[in-house]
Structure 1
Amino acid sequence: MKREIVSPLVVSVVFLALLAGFASKSLSQSALQPGFHSARFLQSDDATQNPQNAKNSADAEAMYAEGLSLLRKYYYGSIGENKTRQLTYDAIRGMLLTLHDPFTSFLDPDEWLQFQETTTRGDFEGIGTMLRADPPRVIVDEVIEGGPAEHVGMKAGDIITRVNNTSVVGMDINDVVKLIKGPAGTKVHITVTRGNKTIEFTITRARVEPPVVKYWMEDPKYKIGHIYLSEFNEKSLEQLNKAFSALQAQGMRALVFDLRSDPGGLLEKAVEIASIFIPKNSVPALHNNVVIIHEGDGEEQGRKLENVDTTYKHRVPLVVLVNDSSASASEIVTGAIKDYGAGTIIGQRTYGKGCVQTLFQLDDGSCLRLTTALYYPPKHYDINYQQDENHNRIPGTGGILPDIEVLPEPNWQGLNDKAHDRQLQAALAFLRDRLNGMSIMQATTAVKEAFSPKTTADAAKPIAIGGK
């Protein structure tokens, strides 16, 4: 199966608790660094068009098969089917590693299942927690609202010690996840420590949909709404529509759309979400393109603005917040909104990932994640970061530049730390100025004068905001 995605990470450091022959089939759906929906089977015609390429490919495959056969026959020690499979997985990983492409990778069946549940599909069967490794401990990092774990009283910070009477102290986090996961309706017994207490839970697993959208009325006086999107998956649009409905019911007059630290996701969702904010035919020179896909053979194709079923019916002044961890699908939406002038971008230069990955599911349930194209914003410029001689990303290169640069305070602790959130303060100041009658240019100038620091150290200095 084949699917396109746009997101820089393959497997997150934080795992959702309770997620859990190599001929290629194509999974089809669109995802920038991920997009999956209709199945499409791909077959290369290169062999018929170029017999020499076919011979070279056959020679390489025969060489691998010969080497593996000799290894199994003569190596001192047993190499059975499971070991052969693992050797093949490692061979594929080693082959991809030589490309020096951090976005091209191989996922074994467990990793691929987890990737689908956490990154593309947006739901899973489990207890509804996020776990993090703190060797030798596995700790509950987050309890998902409305999930089974919350219902029984599990809390963030709980240390998991046993699962179904099996000690998990010192166990790899992936193995702990495998013990905890299971079909909806089944039970799992989990023991945790909380401070000096030992607590036991019997939890009935269920299908859990982790929220990727958070929203609230940031400024009740000016009716400025705030929507935070953490990922572009199959649930994103549905959850965004709920947020739009709720905020519009409260009389929303302006919106902060927060994409800070959003690593990306499905290409198709990026196109849909950008289409919500950008009127068709508003800039004829851009041909209604949300993003331009540049294939390896040089062919280019624009992904157009779509008619999206959305509850966002009345466009209001818009600010998009970004930082240097806003990547891939986030950059597609940011670039489109900026190029069409549909909103004002505030924050930092984005990550700089302007390439598309396609996901190919293999017959054994593993997956190849291959860079198959570049993408450009509607005005057609390269946003990919530059690399040093060791193929490491060079900070401050590539990405989407904000309309108003605002560095974060060094001690900012995240969304709930509003007192130190200079970028949010700048967004609110801009939108209040707009609602008070300033033009975009006037509001931009005012906020730049008040908030644009020259150094990160300057970001720690307090900002005096007038009576707006």
Structure 2
Amino acid sequence: MKKKFSWITLFCSLLGGILLGVIGTFVVLICTINRSTSSSNNFAQVQQVYNTISQSYYKKVSSKKLVNGAIKGMVDSLDDPYSEFMADQEQDSFNSNISGKISGIGATIEQGTQGIQIVAPTAKSPAAKAGLKPKDLIVKINQRSTKKMTVDQASSLTRGKAGTKVHLQIRRGNQTFNKVITRAPIKVATVMSNLDKNDKQIGEITITQFSEHTAKELKQQIQKLKRKGAKKLIIDVRNNPGGVMDQAIAASSMFMSNGRKIMTMDSRIDGKKSYYANKKYLNDYKFKLPTVVLVDKGTASAAEIFAAALKQSAGVKIIGEKTFGKGVVQTLSPLSSNSEMKITTAKWLTPNGSWINHKGLTPSIKVLYPDYLNIKNFTSQKIIKVNEKSSDVKVAQQILVALGQTVPVNGTLDEQTVQQLTTFQSQQQLPTTGQLDLATRQSLTKVLMDKAQKDDPMQRQALQSLKEQ
């Protein structure tokens, strides 16, 4: 995605002094976008609606709310899932994702059997300075119990404006204590790496998204792996939703000779513009050792630009599922200090000229996830007892079968299922009730995910492909 100040913003700034109030901003936006002779007539209707609501609606409505609603309505009329109007918290959240920076306590968390648990505090973060440790249980956040919270809900509560405070109740072993932590800006790494546990000459890199510094982070992680002895590389962009287009281009340039095509932008205003590997990217750093890339149906947008470029211009094997298929680019235009508009302004083409929108990128080697990863999520937190029937019991039975147990998949908590559930609870050091409660649901989900990570057919294929190179 390209981030820039468009001509709309410039035009608004030139005419802003002529018109008064928030309605003036709206006039400029309409007149700038619709420069036809009929635009003033069209706006007259909008202004009439604005005036009527402002003066006659049975209760007072703020001008900001009306103007934001009108802008949102125009953007929504495009019927484009990637175009949107963002204000206040939506704008802050989006920009934090793109920049790779958030404000919070700085700790990775997970949903444990007893609530939200700290995996690890980030180095030099407020959480680390406050003495929080791995496996600490966060009992409460701002007096709210975390027992039934999701990770997303807990993360939302710990994040906030830098300088504000968050109150945590922590349980460590048999000790419970309170911590008041001041939120601070946290840089979120988008690239992580390690050496394969069985073959130290193979480096493994995961790119979670393409934010403002991803290409630089990728270069640093590759150099780090090479210093440790890596001679081959697996790059994992599965479930990478994309992000900043320029970073995908810069990252791609590392893996191909200068002059090779990375992608082409095709817009109504500028026509076609192609981007090529170039020495200006990352000081002309090149990585020429054997590489494979892992993709799946969650690989989208900028991540698809990266994968397609490596496949078609660098001869790199792409392994996994067909990708998501987002072949369009959005431009971000600031409208005010607390609002901005993101609209689709172009489509992008792969190096060979293909448009993958709604089609996806076909991998060099197709490998599917195990069937058990298609098991649906639990939908309830209700305790289910023996002989009761529920869709959650069916989910639990499917997970138990995936873990190697023999149970009927009938949705009924029968004696055979109770027996296997009791065995599972004992293995996970849970109360052996044989009932399906929240803690058992969470443990079943976690153990299944652990199994998926250990038994990763795409990773196995990547290792095999590298051994053959």
Q: Offset at 1:309?
A: 2.3
Q: Is 1:420–2:455 an aligned residue pair?
A: yes
Q: Is 1:302–2:251 an aligned residue pair?
A: no
Partner residue in 1 for 2:100: 122
With normalisation by structure 2, the TM-score equals: 0.69
SS at match of 1:125: strand
After superposition, what is the alpha-carbon deviation per residue over 1:359-385, rounded to whole angstroms, capped at 9, x for unaligned?
Answer: 111124211110010000111111010
Partner residue in 1 for 2:355: 382
Distance of 2:331 and 2:323 partners within structure 1: 22
SS at match of 2:89: helix
Instruction: In structure 2, give the amino acid aligned to 1:223.
Output: Q
Partner residue in 1 for 2:51: 69
Q: Offset at 1:189?
A: 2.8
Partner residue in 1 for 2:232: 254
Map 1:25-44 onto structure 2 (within 5 A).
Answer: 25=9
Q: Is 1:290–2:252 an aligned residue pair?
A: no
Partner residue in 1 for 2:76: 97
Distance of 2:370 and 2:329 partners within structure 1: 32
Partner residue in 2 for 1:321: 294
Q: Is 1:280–2:258 an aligned residue pair?
A: yes
Partner residue in 2 for 1:330: 303
User: Contact 1:122/1:210 (CA < 8 Å) preserved in 2?
Assistant: yes
- For the aligned residue pairs, the C-alpha RMSD in angstroms reads 3.9
Which runs of 5 or more structure 2 residues have no equivalent in the other structure? 11-27, 374-447
Distance of 1:197 and 1:296 partners within structure 2: 63
Q: Offset at 1:345?
A: 0.6
Higher relative contact order (CA 8 A, sep 6+): 1
Map 1:64-463 onto structure 2 (within 5 A).
Answer: 64-79=46-61, 81=62, 84-117=63-96, 119-129=97-107, 145-146=122-123, 147-151=125-129, 152-153=131-132, 158=137, 161-163=140-142, 177=156, 180-183=159-162, 187-191=165-169, 199-218=177-196, 221=199, 223-281=201-259, 288-297=260-269, 299-307=271-279, 308-309=281-282, 313-385=286-358, 398-411=359-372, 417-434=452-469
Distance of 1:258 and 1:232 partners within structure 2: 13
Q: Identity of aligned pairs, percent?
A: 27
Q: How many residues align?
A: 371
SS at match of 1:227: strand
Distance of 1:144 and 1:407 partners within structure 2: 34
139 and 54 in structure 1: CA distance in 2 versus 1, 3 angstrom threshold: farther
Distance of 1:209 and 1:273 partners within structure 2: 19
Distance of 1:291 and 1:432 partners within structure 2: 30
Stretch moving more, 423-432 or 53-62:
53-62
> 1 or 2, which has the higher helix percentage?
2
Partner residue in 2 for 1:393: none
Distance of 2:179 and 2:341 partners within structure 1: 38
After superposition, what is the alpha-carbon deviation per residue over 1:296-316, rounded to whole angstroms, capped at 9, x for unaligned?
Answer: 257111122232226965511
Distance of 2:70 and 2:365 partners within structure 1: 47
With normalisation by structure 1, the TM-score equals: 0.69
SS at match of 2:254: helix
Distance of 1:377 and 1:299 partners within structure 2: 16
SS at match of 1:60: helix
Instruction: In structure 2, give the amino acid aligned to 1:153.
Output: L
Q: Which has the larger radius of gyration?
A: 2
Partner residue in 2 for 1:455: none
